Structure 1
Amino acid sequence: MAKYIYIIILLFTVPSLWGNPKYEKIDKESKSVPDSLKTTEKIAKYLTIELKNDDEKLRALYIWITHNIKYDLDQINSEFQYGSYDEMVEETLKARKGVCGHYAQLFHYMCKSIGIESFVISGYTRQLGCNKISELDHAWNGIKINDKYFFVDNTWAAGYLGYKGNYVHEFKDNYFLIEPKKFIKTHVPFDPVWQFLTNPISNVEYQKKDFSKLNKSGSFVFKDSISVIAQLDTITQIRKKIDRIIKSGITNVLIEREIYEDEELIESLTYDKWVSNYNAINDNINSANDELNLGINFSNIFIGYMNKNFRNPKIEDSEIKSTIDKMNLHFYQGKNQLKKYKPSVYNLKYSGENEEFIRLTTNYKETLVDFVIQLERIILKVEPTIIKDTDYSKRYLKKWKPLRDLVPY
């Protein structure tokens, strides 16, 4: 099932810093790559192959993306449907445009390809000196280098919204490797874990512009939390994320929408998980059915031999024995497999709350239960014949050949 990726962005007109002397050479050499390079891996390798330090490598990626990917105003407030993030990144490279989610995922993929730990973070924003929270959510990157955490916002660095509502693709060097205590003034992750702060700012505090915590040492070990999150299954990750967001305070409509979309995603993933489990069980039941059919097929072959008194053409003893052995092998393998997986059919239960999903899963389960019952009836009907044919074949093969026609069935 395809997952929905919601990507929206707010752009600001802010003073620009045109470059950092420390990276002057890298900035000059990283604005373009050969046209033949079409993938994140190849572009990232080309940009960083001669660089030694992680911050220099990140700088090269940052410069290339901000100078080559334009913001697409037509996509604001659009809902994108992608089968995977791979597809999303591929589209970004091909079109050379996108919105915040495209920028963040592209940077993330490039970082991964050169072995730098990166995170795509979603949240809401507010321009410095402005009281108004953005009406649109945003996405950016967290970076871990030398066991320290920083932020990069390629979207805001790539350009800004002009006074006439047009996009100005003009680089401004304000958003590269920004420390958490500074970044939190303008960017608030929905999930407080991704603030990279030992004393996270709550949504309530952010609304009041209360940053007094930043001057105090906290006890929250975000590194451990990130490590734990990585080990959880996706549904549990999202549930715990929702709990943390609620605890931080629901102070604006963006937070409300994030929680709603996360709850919808949980429902979708829960259904996907049920379908995956159903398909696996269904495959096993069908496999049992296939084995039973093979066993019944060999039983029919034996009955055909027997009806012709094993003549015309003459059936060798080895063929009779082989047919009976295959009949038993497949029939009982199917029977045992059905017995093994029957409980899992009856235990299928959908744990979500979506009424449509409940109806669908109920119908699918009932159909599979009916199929299991049908197979059990077939087994009850056919097994006596399997047993009888097996017994008869043993007695028939033991008998002296001239007297075999006298062996009773």
Structure 2
Amino acid sequence: MKYLIYFLFFQTVAYTQVKSFYSDVEKTIQSIPSSQKKATAEIAAFIQEKFTSEDLQIKAAYYYVISNVAYDISHEFTVNLVISDDEMVSKTITSKKGVCIHYAKFFKDIASNLGYNCQIISGYTKQNSIIADQSHAWAAIQMNDQNWYAFDPTWDSGFIQNKKFVRRLNSKYYKTKPLEMLQTHMPFDYMWQFLNYPITEQDFLANKVVQDKNQELFDYKATIKTYLTLTENEQLSDLKTRMIQTGYKNNLAKERFEILKKQLETFSLNKNVKELNAISNKYNEGISLLNEFIYYRNAQFKPAKEDQEILEMIIKPISIFEDCSDKIYKLGFVGQDNLYDLNKFKRSIIDIMEEAKKHKVFVDDYLTKSERERKKMFLLKK
């Protein structure tokens, strides 16, 4: 997904007005030692040491991000979403540059280290009734009053003028209430509107940011609480369900939905490949046990073991191979490139099971014989 940011900012806003909003944290944050600026955990530790209240801690984190990160004009269309969140935040700290996703994740990382429930929201934006042609990302925190508030550090960090980033701190999108945020920001997932009666895409475009209480009540707090307990794959499935419910008619929402489908396909594929690797490891364990048995059989079952112990030596690998066979035929798609090797693997499991069962027949026969007859078996059968 590509992110382009449109800053809703009026240059007539005086800097002194903005400065007064952050004046209770500004001087302290600017005094952070260089040694504590290398990781979000260190930044958060400094903030916790200097500020005790919820409001000041979050404001300090927000101020740190918007005053230290510059919007990266040269990479606004080339966001690398393959790297992990930790890598993305680390690069943002080092380069002091980024686009909306970097601002949002940087802020989230500090807030999370401070102990707050902060989440990233993706969606699209609108200015003067015109929908932006690129997606956007911002953040939200569930405060101590249990209500959710939105934060957009990108839009509050400055603006673009003559293709250059101009830092001009603002607080318009700091701790924004749901209906206020929906004037300009529309999440792809209506859960992140933080409304019991979510508005539609059509209402957003038409500037009708009013809850229709005739519709069915949506318990967004309970939905979010459950959502946050799910795995990433389950969260994506949840998002897919809600996007289908809304119709995802906006072009950016359609683009997000297509990406979402690919993400779910990738999760499924990766899960199957991981399972295939687990089956392969188990198969190798079975091979190792079978080889131990063959080595012992070639030594004519010396040194002597109890009959049951000998039987177990061949039963264990057979049990493993049967389990591998059962699982591999229930396995889902593992990718076109893996099909040839997968089929070879299936054939190998069948062949090795047949070989192991022949040894089992030998052991079963061996256990029915007298000591003298057992010795003769090693002369007749190898």
Q: Normalising by structure 2, what TM-score?
A: 0.88
In the aligned structure 2, how far is the partner of 1:233 from the partner of 1:219? 26
Q: Which residue of 1 aligns with 2:256?
A: 258
Q: Which moved more, 1:337-346 or 1:87-96?
A: 337-346
- Following TM superposition, by how much is the alpha carbon of 1:213 offset from its aligned partner in structure 2, in angstroms? 2.2
Q: Alpha carbons of 1:79 and 1:102: their partners in 2 closer, same or farther (altered >3 Å)?
A: closer
Cα contact 2:2–2:76 (8 A) shared by 1: no
Counterpart Cα distance in 1 of 2:135 and 2:40: 25
Pair member with larger Rg? 1
Aligned to 2:315: 332
Verify the 8 A CA contact 1:123 1:189 in the aligned structure 2. yes
Identify the match of residue 285 of structure 1 among 275, 283, 286.
283
State how many pairs are aligned. Answer: 374
Question: Kindly tell me: are residues 364 and 81 of structure 1, through their superposed partners in 2, closer, same or farther at Cα, counting changes over 3 Å?
Answer: farther
Q: Given that residues 202 and 249 in structure 1 are in contact (C-alpha distance below 8 angstroms), is that contact kept between their aligned partners in structure 2?
A: no
- 1:207 Cα shift? 1.3
Distance 1:228 1:114 in 2: 22
Which residue number corresponds to residue 359 of structure 2? 382
Q: Distance in 2 between matches of 1:48 and 1:217?
A: 43
What is the CA RMSD across the aligned residues, in angstroms?
Answer: 2.9
Distance change >3 Å, CA 220–CA 68, structure 1 → 2:
same
Tell me how far apart the structure 2 counterparts of residues 264 and 14 of structure 1 sit (CA, whole Å).
39
What CA distance in whole angstroms lies between the structure 1 residues aligned with 2:94 and 2:306?
60
Instruction: Give a deviation string over 1:121-143, Cα, whole Å, max 9, x none.
Output: 0011113xx12111111100011
Q: Does the 8 Å contact 1:189/1:195 carry over to 2?
A: yes
Query: Structure 1: which amino acid aligns with 2:7?
Result: L
Q: Which residue of 2 aligns with 1:312?
A: none
Q: Deviations over 1:141-183 (max 9, x none)?
A: 0111111110111111111111x12111221222211111111
Question: Structure 1 residue 363 and structure 2 residue 340: aligned?
Answer: yes
Shift of 1:323: 9.7
Name the counterpart of 1:99.
Answer: 99
The answer for the alignment partner of 1:373 in structure 2 is 350
Amino acid at match of 1:119: Q
**Letter paired with 1:27:** E
Partner of residue 297, structure 1? 295
- Alpha-carbon distance in 2 for matches of 1:58, 1:95: 23
**Aligned counterpart in structure 1 of residue 134 of structure 2, from 115, 136, 148:** 136
Secondary structure at 1:82's aligned position in 2? coil
Q: How does 1:179-190 map to 2 (within 5 A)?
A: 179-190=177-188
1:218-233 equivalences under 5 Å are 219-233=217-231
2:57 is matched with which residue? 57
Regions of 4+ moved over 6 Å: 214-218, 323-326
SS in 1 for 2:58: helix
Q: Does 1:11 align with 2:7?
A: yes
Mean alpha-carbon deviation: is it higher for 17-26 or for 85-94? 17-26
Q: Who is 2:200 aligned against?
A: 202
Amino acid at match of 2:331: L
- Deviation string, structure 1 residues 263-290 (Cα, Å, up to 9, x no partner): 1111111111111121222222221122
1:71-112: CA deviations, max 9, x gaps? Answer: 111111114143421111111111111111111111111111
Aligned residue in 1 for 2:332: 349
Structure 1 stretch displaced more, 38-47 or 77-86: 77-86
In structure 1, distance between residues paired with 2:210 and 2:230: 33
- Give the corresponding residue for 1:158: 157
Q: Which amino acid aligns with 2:86?
A: D
Partner of 1:240: 238
- CA distance in structure 1 between the partners assigned to 2:131 and 2:31 by the alignment: 35
The separation in 1 between residues aligned to 2:110 and 2:246, in whole angstroms, is: 32
| Partner SS state of residue 304, structure 2 | helix
Per the TM alignment, residue 299 of structure 1 is displaced from its structure 2 partner at its CA by 1.3
Tell me the equivalent position of 1:115: 115
CA drift of 1:383 comes to 3.0
Q: What is the Cα deviation at residue 302 of structure 1?
A: 2.6
Q: Percent identity?
A: 23
Return the alpha-carbon distance in structure 2 between the equivalents of residues 118 and 408 of structure 1: 74
> Please, which runs of 5 or more residues in structure 2 have no aligned partner?
none
**3-state SS in 2 of match to 1:151:** strand
Q: How far off is 1:228 after superposition?
A: 2.1
SS in 2 for 1:33: coil
Contact 1:7/1:80 (<8 A) preserved? no
Q: Is the 8 A contact 2:3 2:134 kept in 1?
A: no
Q: Could you tell me whether the CA contact under 8 Å between 1:207 and 1:251 is conserved in 2?
A: no
TM-aligned CA distance change 1:383 to 1:246, over 3 Å: closer
C-alpha separation in 2, matches of 1:218 and 1:373: 56
Q: Relative to structure 1, is the Cα distance of residues 215 and 323 closer, same or farther in structure 2, using a 3 angstrom cutoff?
A: closer
Q: What is residue 148 of structure 1 aligned with on the other side?
A: 147
- CA distance 1:269–1:32, shift in 2 (3 Å): farther
- Structure 1 residue 337, shift from structure 2 partner: 1.8
Cα 1:30/1:203, change in 2 over 3 Å: same
The Cα offsets for residues 322-371 of structure 1, whole Å up to 9 and x where unpaired, read as 49887544332111222233211222233xxxxxx653454344222111
CA gap 1:246/1:10 in 2 versus in 1, 3 angstroms: farther
Q: 1:79 to 1:173 in 2, by over 3 A?
A: closer
| Alignment partners' CA distance in 2, 1:89 and 1:277 | 31
